[in-house]
Amino acid sequence: MKMENLFNEDIMAMDTYIMVKLKEKTAQLAEKLTQKNRAPIALSMGAPTSSPPQALIDKLKEFLTEDNIHTYSVTRGESYFRQACAQRMKNCFGVNIDPDKEVCSVLGAKDGLANLIRFIINPKHEDKEKDIILIPDPGYASYSQMVKCSGGLAYSMPLTEENDYQPNLDDVLSELKENGYDEKKIKAVIINYPNNPLGVMASRSYVQSVIEFCKKHDILLISDAAYCDLYYDENEKPFSVFEFKGAKDIAVEMYTLSKPYAITGWRLGWLCGNSEVVARFAKGKSTIDNGICKAFQKACAYIMTSSEGDEYIEHANAAYKRKQSIMLKGLKELGWPIEELKIPNTTFYLWLPIPRKYDNSTKFCEDLLEKSGVVIVPGSAFGKYGEGYFRISYVCSDAKLQEVIDRMKADGFRF
């Protein structure tokens, strides 16, 4: 059977997701690396390796035996989960979200974003005819792929040192028009603060300006808040877009439990905001999945609104801060100009320039994997503005992080 005849052009043109490719490559090399005392250490995926909160595990076990807990859930999510989402939005940001009209559960943010994107794009083949979604660059590697495989065009908004990682949307619009694209094709803007892979936050005035831009041009604002719980400086406390005037007219926000509670494999999150967008999204989703395991929703509802959950996040953030220090100290010894770099106070990522002797990030990451067994992600995977950099996820044990530094020293990796 000819795959080109079977699958659509957009899927045929897609590459395997970068993290999956890295995993496959690492598995191929694992035996050889282990033999030379360089068993792989993965600092690639944004997947915390610590155990989830004990209270979450206990509640999950307890709820699994309840009557009727094993049957289908509903697309929007059980009311106890949606109420917990609304409660969490109130506790964290002081915003009011209607659990009945403004929340829909998702199987993690990746599921939510991929489906939202394909629901709003009318697929086209010709570039200039495609619906456009503005995406942060560098940004989460899946955004561009999600847009492309939905038959849309992902247009980069550069996040650079010069613009303080807050691209001026009027400038992006002018450039887009100069490049021959039709501004009326812009369907949505994705913002992601704290940002993956940079770990940067935006100012409040910037967020207000993005909301005004979206209102003026009648564009959906999608705020990806995947890292909103991970911060270690009160001055850079993440926001919800709904703290800002007019946001509910044009915005939705995506949340996930993956990162704050270290449950990347268990899959739960929520989309909230503009009630019409949420309703359409839920309608679209109702034919695709039947919601999420009820016992899990119930256990998550508990952890999201309990002191155990908040204490867990507090401890996790303290641990990330400590892990970041281990990496920074070690990388400084290896010659990285740490004092000159913007060091994040959010997420568990470090975004660093590649050593001077390399001219591209892929080569450096390949060398580090093949020689030292350390898996990191080339900056180019996060967009065209990411070349020249690499991303480290400091999600493993302190001892392993120190071992990464020791191996780099022993194997001659310096800035």
User: Which residues contact ligand PLP (rule: CB under 6 A)?
Assistant: 46, 108-110, 140, 192, 196, 224, 226, 256, 258, 264, 269
Amino acid (1-letter code) at residue 115: N
From 121, 310, 269, 109, select the one nearest 192 (Cα to Cα): 109
273 φ/ψ sector (left φ>0, alpha ψ -120 to 50, else beta): left
Minimum distance between the CB of residue 129 and ligand PLP, rounded to whole angstroms?
28
User: Given the complex with ligand PLP, which of 17 and 232 has the nearer CB atom?
Assistant: 17
User: Given the complex with ligand PLP, which of 196 and 380 has the nearer CB atom?
Assistant: 196
> 21: number of CA atoms within 13 Å, CB side?
13
Minimum distance between the CB of residue 113 and ligand PLP, rounded to whole angstroms?
6
Minimum distance between the CB of residue 379 and ligand PLP, rounded to whole angstroms?
15
Would you state the structure tokens that stand for residue 216, as one six-digit string? 């003026």
User: Given the complex with ligand PLP, which of 46 and 344 has the nearer CB atom?
Assistant: 46
Q: What is the 3-state secondary structure (H, E, C) of 54-115?
A: HHHHHHHHHHHCCCCCCCCCCCCCCHHHHHHHHHHHHHHHCCCCCCCCCEEEECCHHHHHHH
User: Given the complex with ligand PLP, which of 46 and 373 has the nearer CB atom?
Assistant: 46
Minimum distance between the CB of residue 268 and ligand PLP, rounded to whole angstroms?
8
User: Given the complex with ligand PLP, which of 336 and 390 has the nearer CB atom?
Assistant: 390
What is the β-pairing status of strands 377-378 and 389-393? antiparallel
User: Given the complex with ligand PLP, which of 195 and 324 has the nearer CB atom?
Assistant: 195
User: Given the complex with ligand PLP, which of 130 and 259 has the nearer CB atom?
Assistant: 259
Minimum distance between the CB of residue 312 and ligand PLP, rounded to whole angstroms?
17
Question: What are the residues whose beta carbons fall under 8 Å from the beta carbon of 306, sequence distance 6 or more?
Answer: 55
Minimum distance between the CB of residue 327 and ligand PLP, rounded to whole angstroms?
19
Minimum distance between the CB of residue 209 and ligand PLP, rounded to whole angstroms?
21
Calculate the alpha carbon distances from 107 to 54, 137, 181, 296 in Å.
22, 25, 34, 11
Q: What is the 3-state secondary structure (H, E, C) of 182-195?
A: CHHHEEEEEECCCC
From 172, 180, 160, 169, select the one nearest 250 (Cα to Cα): 169
User: Given the complex with ligand PLP, which of 8 and 49 has the nearer CB atom?
Assistant: 49
Minimum distance between the CB of residue 19 and ligand PLP, rounded to whole angstroms?
8
Backbone angles phi, psi at 11, to 5 degrees: -70, -40
